[in-house]
Amino acid sequence: MNNLRKIDSIIPPPPAHMVGDGFRVHGFFPGQLSNKKRMSPFFIMDYGSKIEFTPSSEPRGVGVHPHAGFETVTIAYHGRVAHHDSAGNRGVIKEGDVQWMTAGSGLLHKEYHEKEFSKTGGLFQMVQLWVNLPARFKKTTPKYQGITREMMGKFLLPDKKSIIEIIAGEYNGVKGPAFTFSPVHLYNARLAKDASVEFDLPEKYNTGFLVIEGNVKVNSENVPTDHFVLFKNEGEKIILEASEDAVVLVLSGEPIEEPLAAYGPFVMNKWEEIEQAIHDVNTGKFGVLED
Ligand code: MN
């Protein structure tokens, strides 16, 4: 019998800011956390809550920029996001899909609204996580995993309407398709009204729930839409109940217990490595990418 996991805090969405002209995001962390390693291996969570974009002939987005030392994980809940990078990867993620990009030793990329979505405009909602890499994998070759909703592991709940979609890690023996460099569980809990589900996540794993859709109860506490539940590292069992149809992003991962040096688009272990990354970008080592 596992103990109920304690809630640290329920965090409302911080004021939104624009990333380029295509992504209006609430920077939940690291900003709202007591220290930058609090949700390790997750370093950043930017949440683009629902917004209507007007039609545009020119796709909105963010221009060419570098990344190194970690992974960007983008989840589209509404709208479609396109990406291409200097390692030669490109992809479009549709509603419910995930783009898992390993920046590793470094690349340049561009993120923007998919062309047809831009033309029609419409509802847009997404999450971008930055997942840190353990020191021994910081220099790994850049790669890209396009994970469609169809590819995700699926655990159907007893009401036959609610489902746990496993993106990474495992839930009740069902595995997710994402390759990760450290232990990570990442799920979408898509619950019908009145459904309830239990999670049993290791106490030492840093764990949080982001409520994407609907109002829910987490261990009997009310949590409104667009709020983030930060859990303490005490107890394992979490009970999620849907007060109405709901979608909750579940993130849980083993902390990376290593020094952290983060600056702009780089997440490293030492400041010298940040300086090296800036030098590498400036001398073309991350490749070239046309805007
Ligand atoms: Mn980026």
pLDDT tens series, the chain, 291 aa: 579 999 999 999 999 999 999 999 999 999 999 999 999 999 999 999 999 999 999 999 999 999 999 999 999 999 999 999 999 999 999 999 999 999 999 999 999 999 999 999 999 999 999 999 999 999 999 999 999 999 999 999 999 999 999 999 999 999 999 999 999 999 999 999 999 999 999 999 999 999 999 999 999 999 999 999 999 999 999 999 999 999 999 999 999 999 999 999 999 999 999 999 999 999 999 999 977
The two tokens of residue 233 are: 């590292």
Buried-state track 278-291, b at ≥16 Cβ within 10 A, e below 16: bebbeeeebbebee
Give the C-alpha distances (Å, rounded to integers) separating 265 from 15, 65, 107, 278.
21, 8, 11, 10
- Per the listing, tokens 């080592």 go with 285
Q: What is the pLDDT of residue 291?
A: 74
CA of 187 to the centre of ligand 1 (A): 22
- State which fold the 7-282 domain adopts: Jelly Rolls (2.60.120)
Q: Which helix (H) or strand (E) holds 216?
A: strand 216-218
Q: Could you tell me the distance, in angstroms and rounded to a whole number, from the CA of residue 184 to the centre of ligand 1? A: 21
* Rg for the chain, CA atoms, rounded: 18
User: What's the pLDDT score for residue 290?
Assistant: 79
**Separation of CA 105 and ligand 1 centre (Å):** 14
Query: For residues 215 and 230, what is the distance between their CA atoms, to the nearest angstrom?
Result: 16
pLDDT of residue 92: 96
Find where tokens 């169809």 sit: 150
Q: How many Å lie between the centroid of ligand 1 and the Cα of residue 27?
A: 14
8-state DSSP, 226: T
Judged by DSSP in three states, 271 sits in helix
The domain limits of the chain are: 7-282
Q: How far apart are CA 74 and CA 150, in angstroms?
A: 16
Give residue 99 CA to ligand 1 midpoint distance, Å: 11
- Going from the Cα of 256 to the center of ligand 1, the distance in angstroms, rounded, reads 22
Give 90 Cα–ligand 1 centroid separation in angstroms. 13
Contact 164, 188 (CB under 8 A): yes
Which pair of tokens denotes residue 24? 């209006």
Three-class SS of residue 140?
A: coil
Give distance in angstroms: CA of 110 to centre of ligand 1. Answer: 7
Q: Would you say 94 and 76 are in contact if contact means Cβ atoms under 8 Å apart?
A: yes
Ligand 1 mean position, distance from CA 147 (Å): 17
- Among residues 103, 101, 106, 82, which one has the least CA distance to residue 93? 82
What is the per-residue pLDDT across 252-291, written as a single tens digit (0 to 9) for each?
999 999 999 999 999 999 999 999 999 999 999 999 997 7
Q: Report residue 110 as tokens.
A: 């561009």
CA of 219 to the centre of ligand 1 (A): 35
> What Cα–Cα distance (Å) separates residue 189 from each residue in 12, 13, 202, 209, 222?
20, 20, 18, 10, 16
pLDDT computed for residue 1 by the predictor: 54
- What strand order describes the sheet that includes 81-85? 61-67, 107-113, 81-85, 90-93
Place of tokens 């060419």: 64
- The pLDDT value recorded for residue 119 is 98
